[in-house]
Amino acid sequence: RKEVEQDPGPFNVPEGATVAFNCTYSNSASQSFFWYRQDCRKEPKLLMSVYSSGNEDGRFTAQLNRASQYISLLIRDSKLSDSATYLCVVNGRGGADGLTFGKGTHLIIQP
Amino acid sequence: SQTIHQWPATLVQPVGSPLSLECTVEGTSNPNLYWYRQAAGRGLQLLFYSVGIGQISSEVPQNLSASRPQDRQFILSSKKLLLSDSGFYLCAWSEGSWLFGPGTRLTVL
């Protein structure tokens, strides 16, 4: 089983719609969870951390279900500028060990 | 504020040639530094990490090596490149939060 799994998409969504991505992770001892955004040929940039209680940042809402080892990202009122690849990221081992990335979900917002 | 520099930005190299990619960090001291690779159609894969000068941990057996000659410098090298070494190489810094450099896009022909 892969450590972090995501639907690669692409998700083609009309502007203004709501879109949700899911991600599952295999390491039940994982400690930190993130969503990163990566634009074409650019480095990943942190979109938001994901907390057990769920958290919201403007149009973006992230949820974590530790029992099911499942993370979600909801984007409301999608904009053309939201088109990107969204990476689910887990810091499973703590300490100096690195992040584990999903392959990403490609989102295309259509006018 | 912290910044990460990587160079070169792009590189085209023949199979069998050597490689040296450099990463430098500003605005922090004694950072944990990481090399990731993103190959076509694949997720980011951790290659090496370093918690200090001269300290390198390798995540996967491979054709590459890393060195940390100075606190804020992290170098990725190869003596002989393979076609499979092509990819997008990202240096990252961690000190609680994470920051990625702009990356080096390597094409091995």
- At A14-33, the pLDDT tens digits run 999 999 999 999 988 888 89
Strands B10-13 and B104-108: parallel
Confidence of residue A92 (pLDDT cuts 50, 70, 90): low
Closest CA of chain B from A43, distance in Å: 5
Distances from the Cα of A11 to the Cαs of A32, A110, B58, B107, in angstroms?
A: 26, 10, 35, 29
Residue ranges of B 27-86 with Cβ closer than 8 A to chain A: 32, 34, 36, 41-44, 46, 49, 51, 57, 59
Rounded Cα gap, residues B75 and B8, in angstroms: 12
Half-sphere exposure in the Cβ direction for A48 (13 Å, CA): 18
Mean pLDDT of A35-58: 93
Q: Which residue has the tokens 């912290």?
A: B2
User: Cβ contacts (< 8 Å) between B51 and chain A: which residues?
Assistant: 96
Query: What mean pLDDT is reported for chain B?
Result: 92
pLDDT greater than 90 at residue A100: no
Asked if residue B6 lies in contact with residue B55, where contact means CB atoms within 8 angstroms, the answer is no
